[in-house]
Structure 1
Amino acid sequence: MIIGVPKEIKNHEYRIGLTPAGVKELAVNGHQVIVENNGGAAIGFDNAQYIEAGAKIIDEAAEIFATADMIIKVKEPQAIECKMLRPGQILFTYLHLAPDPKQTELLITSGATCIAYETVTSPTGGLPLLAPMSEVAGRMSIQAGAHALEIAQGGLGALLGGVPGVAPAKVLVVGGGVVGTQAARMAVGMGADVTILDRSLPRLRQLDTEFDGRLKTVYSTADAMAQLIVEADLVIGAVLIPGAEAPKLVTKAHIKAMKKGAVVVDVAIDQGGCFETSKATTHQDPTYIVDDVVHYCVANMPGGVARTSTMALTNATLPFAVTIANKGAKQALLEDEHLLAGLNVAAGKITYKPVADVLGYEFVEAKTALSL
């Protein structure tokens, strides 16, 4: 199989779909990999490393899309990329279709077989291809939030960990999954006063044990949210419904009630955001202010630490990529129910129900779509 790795073109996105080590693994399995010129140069993976790993360097993305049987990316394809896809071609990347009707329409029109990293499952019920970027984004959310709290950034001028004689900042983490846990880990490590809200009592018990009393766990209710958010200096939005649009748990009224200069970081922005006042931003212009509250809503947060993120992502995606390349998409998908869960679009049909439901498309079972 010919596997194409184009350079990412989203604003300030420097990750790349495969590391040189990932290329070598596919080459060892008998596949040809073509990589766009300088696709990984910004993060220290130069053309020479890819060539040494067995790749061929291609100057134009259009040639990669025209030649490759499978396209491996990081971020969702931009409109110009969607239009270069063709029927039967495999697209393996993050998609986040629920809040993105235009991309969805273009992928349906393309006829490509589109497998979304974020909905591939694991035997233990996790999301193994989303987890590494959730870990990165969770940790980054505290780093970004702490910076935004500085007065020069519009924040209230609070140091997250405080100093002797001055209380630490209060951090509220909404959601106790991978993102929330990693955010809490960083915030606790910096000495902040941390509270996690979640609706799962078993998860709250796990977190209480894991952090050994170094943070507070609170069952999430409307009343709890209303009380805690007015006290918070930094709020991390870390909720996820796999493949579906994020619920708006923090309302405009909540934001209006927060203290002047408080900061909110919406890690769920890829799925539409969990704050009612959220809108996607970029690393170039990451924040804006609503009702005197600083909002950080960068839609590709892990892109800010692109080298670490690329290595972590390739570690997770590579076994699936090798399987798809070795067996072909149809056989690989039909033989692995967890990979099949990642199929979002095939043969011009929506094969992931939460996406179909939120965007108003007919839902077609994945196996049915693969037979068309």
Structure 2
Amino acid sequence: MIIGLPKEIKLQEYRVALIPAGCGMLVKQGHQVVVQAGAGEGSGFSNEEYADAGAKLVDSAAEVWAAAEMIVKVKEPLQEEFAYFKEGMVLFTYLHLAAAQQLAVALVEKRVTGIAYETIQLPNGSLPLLTPMSEVAGRMSVQEGAKYLEAFFGGRGVLLGGVPGVPPAEVVIIGGGIVGTNAAKMALGLGAEVVVLEKNAERMRYLDDVFQGRLRTLSSNPYNIANAVRKADLLIGAVLVPGARAPRLVSEEMVKTMKKGAVIVDVAVDQGGSIETIDRATTHEHPTYEKHGVIHYAVANMPGAVPRTSTLALTNATIDYVLQLASRGFSDAVANNAPLALGVNSHAGAITHASVAQAVGLPYTELRSLLG
């Protein structure tokens, strides 16, 4: 198979979907890897390293897309990349189609097989290709939140951990999954008071055990959310429904009750956001805006700020799936790998993930019916 690795074009996105070691593994198995020059530089991987691994270097993205049978990326294609789509192409990347109807329509119209990292799901319900980036984003949410609490950035001027004689900041995390757990770990490490709202009782017991009672857990319901939001210095949205739009759990009225200069970081922004006042995604260049006196941080590719760490963590998780798709071909790979099959969001001109279909308003077609 010919695998293509284009350079990411999303603003300030420095990650890359395949490192030279991964290229070498593919080449060793008899595949061809076509890499756009400069694709890995943002993560510290040179053109020479890719060439030494056996990849073919080309100058333009157009050459990569034209040559490849499978494209591996990090972020969803932007509109200027839709022109490169071709029938039968396999696109393996984060797609986040629930918040990207235009992309979903383009994949269907061009009959592209779109496999989304974020909906590959193991039998235990875990999301192996979302987990490493959720770990990064969860940790970064506290790091960024602490920064924007500084008065220089319009925040309350509160130090997350306080000092002797001065109380620490109150960090409220909505969602106790991978993002929420990693956010709690960072916030507790900095000395903050931490509250996690979670609807799953078993998960709350797990968090209580793991953190040995150092954080408080609350059942996630409108009453508890409203009370916790009102007290928060830093509010972190850490809610995810695989393939679906994030539920809006924090209303604009709740945000209006927050302290002036409090900070909101919504990690779910690329799935539509779980906080009503997060009405648009921001960028690393312009990461925040103020609404109702509250600083909103809504960067949709948070792990892109630490590309070396993020790229290595992501490719550790993706490479086995890339190897399976390349060696077995799409149909055989998904027929023999149920978690991978759950990652297929579009195929043969249809949306093949029920939650995505509902979110974008397109008909749902079961993948098995298209594979024969």
TM-score range relative to shorter protein? over 0.9
Distance across 2 between alignment mates of 1:368 and 1:80: 32
- Partner of residue 80, structure 1: 80
* Consecutive unaligned residues in structure 2, runs of 5 or more: none
Which amino acid in the other structure matches residue 308 of structure 1?
T
1:317 maps onto 2:318 in alignment: yes
SS at match of 2:243: coil
Cα distance per residue 1:127-182 (max 9 Å; x no partner): 00000000000000000100010111110100001111111000000000000000
SS at match of 2:39: coil
Distance across 1 between alignment mates of 2:163 and 2:196: 23
- Partner of residue 306, structure 1: 307
- Partner of residue 132, structure 2: 132
Distance across 2 between alignment mates of 1:359 and 1:45: 37
- Residues 1-372 of structure 1 aligned to structure 2 (within 5 Å): 1-278=1-278, 279-371=280-372
Distance across 2 between alignment mates of 1:123 and 1:98: 22
Which amino acid in the other structure matches residue 14 of structure 1?
Y
Distance across 1 between alignment mates of 2:18 and 2:74: 9
Distance across 2 between alignment mates of 1:29 and 1:217: 49
What is the deviation of 1:282? Answer: 0.5
Cα distance per residue 1:302-351 (max 9 Å; x no partner): 00101110111100000000000000011101111110000001111000
Relative to the length of structure 2, the TM-score reads 0.99
Distance across 2 between alignment mates of 1:204 and 1:110: 44
Distance across 2 between alignment mates of 1:288 and 1:369: 45
Distance across 2 between alignment mates of 1:39 and 1:221: 44
The answer as to whether partners of 1:115 and 1:342 remain within 8 angstroms in 2 is yes
The answer as to whether partners of 1:83 and 1:106 remain within 8 angstroms in 2 is no
Distance across 2 between alignment mates of 1:121 and 1:222: 29
The answer as to whether partners of 1:138 and 1:267 remain within 8 angstroms in 2 is yes
Which amino acid in the other structure matches residue 124 of structure 1?
N
* Consecutive unaligned residues in structure 1, runs of 5 or more: none
Distance across 1 between alignment mates of 2:110 and 2:80: 12
Distance across 1 between alignment mates of 2:365 and 2:216: 43
Distance across 2 between alignment mates of 1:27 and 1:254: 54
What is the deviation of 1:369? Answer: 2.6
Cα distance per residue 1:16-73 (max 9 Å; x no partner): 1101111111112111111110111122100011111111111010011000110000
What is the aligned-residue RMSD (CA, Å)? 0.8
Which amino acid in the other structure matches residue 322 of structure 1?
L
Distance across 1 between alignment mates of 2:7 and 2:370: 30
Which amino acid in the other structure matches residue 184 of structure 2?
A
Percent identity between the two aligned chains: 53
What is the deviation of 1:124? Answer: 2.2
The answer as to whether partners of 1:79 and 1:106 remain within 8 angstroms in 2 is no
The answer as to whether partners of 1:346 and 1:370 remain within 8 angstroms in 2 is no
Which amino acid in the other structure matches residue 268 of structure 2?
A
Shifted more, 120-129 versus 256-265: the winner is 120-129
Relative to the length of structure 1, the TM-score reads 0.99
Distance across 2 between alignment mates of 1:163 and 1:270: 35
Which amino acid in the other structure matches residue 340 of structure 2?
L
The answer as to whether partners of 2:226 and 2:250 remain within 8 angstroms in 1 is no
Distance across 1 between alignment mates of 2:202 and 2:43: 40
Structure 1 residue runs of 4 or more that deviate by more than 2 Å after TM superposition: none
What is the deviation of 1:122? Answer: 1.3
The answer as to whether partners of 2:155 and 2:263 remain within 8 angstroms in 1 is yes
The answer as to whether partners of 1:155 and 1:263 remain within 8 angstroms in 2 is yes
Distance across 2 between alignment mates of 1:301 and 1:74: 12
The answer as to whether partners of 1:83 and 1:110 remain within 8 angstroms in 2 is no
Which amino acid in the other structure matches residue 93 of structure 2?
T
The answer as to whether partners of 1:5 and 1:17 remain within 8 angstroms in 2 is yes
The answer as to whether partners of 2:118 and 2:343 remain within 8 angstroms in 1 is yes
Shifted more, 126-135 versus 103-112: the winner is 103-112
Cα distance per residue 1:272-314 (max 9 Å; x no partner): 0000011200001000001000000000000010111011110
For these two proteins, the number of residue pairs brought into alignment is 371
Distance across 2 between alignment mates of 1:269 and 1:203: 23
Cα distance per residue 1:221-241 (max 9 Å; x no partner): 111111111111000000000
The answer as to whether partners of 1:170 and 1:231 remain within 8 angstroms in 2 is yes
Shifted more, 19-28 versus 278-287: the winner is 19-28
Cα distance per residue 1:241-271 (max 9 Å; x no partner): 0010000001100110100000000000010
Distance across 1 between alignment mates of 2:210 and 2:184: 11
Distance across 2 between alignment mates of 1:184 and 1:170: 11
Which amino acid in the other structure matches residue 297 of structure 2?
Y
